[in-house]
Amino acid sequence: MRQILLTSIPLLILSACTAGAADNSKSVYAEYCASCHGVGLEGGSAPSLFDKDWKHGSDLASIRKNIADGIDEVGMPGFAGGLSDAEIENLIVYLKAGAPAAEEPQTPATVDKRAETAPIAAIDQVDNIQSQINVEDYITGLDEPWGIHFVGDQVLITEKKGTLKLAQKSDELAQGWMVSEISGIPVVNNARQGGLLDVATDPDYARNNLVYLTFSHPLEGTSGASMTKLIRGKIVDNQWTAEETLFQAQADDYLDTGFHYGSRITFDDKGHIFFSIGDRGPKEQAQDLDRPNGKIHRINRDGSIPDDNPYLDAKYPSIYSYGNRNPQGLIWHPETGVLWETEHGPKGGDELNAIKPGINYGWPKISYGINYNGTVLTEHQALPGMAQPASQWTPSIAVCGLDVYAGNLFPDWKGRLLAGSLAFQSLRLIDVDGDKYKGEVEILKDKGRIRDVTTGPDGAIYVALPRKIVRLSPK
């Protein structure tokens, strides 16, 4: 059995951890901690708890204080309001002893009555779908790939730590791929959820060779302030060149929180580029039209502002919609023209939204979720002037990555959405009609946390996992 390499536990506390208490602490961990630290303590959006040293203290007093009071700088809430002293003590024992990794993600219990009665997205479990799909390793040896994008038969891959890689097929190499690192990429703030994020190419790439990147841009002269930035450039002989800044926030709007950057890129057929920025932690700023965070933005591909954007007189006239918590899925549907978005809720209330100009999507005034510590976030699931999601997931599946399937290998799936899940480690095929949600099914499960998904030029589906990209095709 794996053990956490930490200081020994006092015998008195260990003896107090009865079988019943241990079972309870396991359920408490699944309810309050697993969505961030991983089902088996292996780590997720928050660090692994199997590491020898914990940044904020591994002694009992530090752990107790961190659980009870939270850690503001990393966005960890305090749980004193939702857990009793005895539950906190038992949870400490559970963390110290180590927990075997679960075979399947645990579904947290819902503790808020509003979330119990909320409309939960229907998951149509069709057992034979997964058995009809072949899953094979495609590109391996990667380090936290965040965005994947095909350029013909080549693949551009962002790694969170700040590297952009170009993978090309090679008959001469045993692994079948020659993977090159692109030099000259800007420095990123690789901390917590920040880093090198999404990658896309211009719709006219064959003519202009333009590549777009989003990343957490560190503000010079500060100890950690950063904000999502959008740039474009060209790759020449594995060198990043001709860089242009398309969007950068003003210095006074940079934040030293390390999470909720967004950030996805998509294009429509009218010359626009859409990109997302999460609320960055101070959730009320998602409602502030003088702030860039908690918004979906739209600009022209050269960085100029479209004349019909809804807030031309605002500090950030690129704002297209607002009240969006942390959108890590964004795709324009080429058949219907609907801009689809998936965003992380808090504890419950992950959302699928059809984004429209000038619309307030409500965060944090309305939500189907609750605070991570189990307390009430808001009394409202709906308010006048605020849009409802097309669908929502409670418990949270931790949505990340979104695409419209447009290939020929799965002809019946054309026009449906592909949505990745971090916490539930699943890929959902979502049926939509215009801007309406119809249903969904899991087509990939338990292969790892899914960060991105895209349709390849061959019609196969490609999924970014923590260390590799896998290919889905019909058996």
The residues, any chain, with a CB within 8 Å of residue 139's CB and separated by 6 or more, are: 155, 157, 167, 177, 179, 468, 469
The encoded tokens of residue 255 equal 């934040």
Write the DSSP assignment of 307-340 as a string of letters.
TT-TTTTSSSTTEEEE--S-EEEEEE-TTT--EE
For residue 327, list its beta bridge partners: 343
Task: List the one residue out of 288, 274, 279, 290 whose CA is nearest residue 345.
Answer: 279
Classify 14 as helix, strand or coil: helix
From the CA atom positions of the chain, what is the Rg in Å? 22
> Could you give phi then psi for residue 233, rounded to 5 degrees?
-170, -165
β-pair partners for 379 = none
Catalytic residue among 149, 217, 260, 272: 260
In the residue annotation, 272 being an active-site residue is answered as: no
Round to whole Å and give the CA distance between 232 and 205: 12
**CA-angle at 383, arms to 381 and 387, nearest 5°:** 85
Strands 469-474 and 399-404: unpaired
Cβ atoms of residues 106 and 37 within 8 Å: no
What is the token pair recorded at 74? 């990393």
Give the DSSP letter of residue 365.
T
Q: Between 85-97 and 19-32, two packed helices, what is the crossing angle to 10 degrees?
A: 90
Token output for 472: 């889905």
Spatial CA neighbour of 431 closest among 199, 114, 122, 21: 122
**Which residues have a catalytic role annotated?**
260
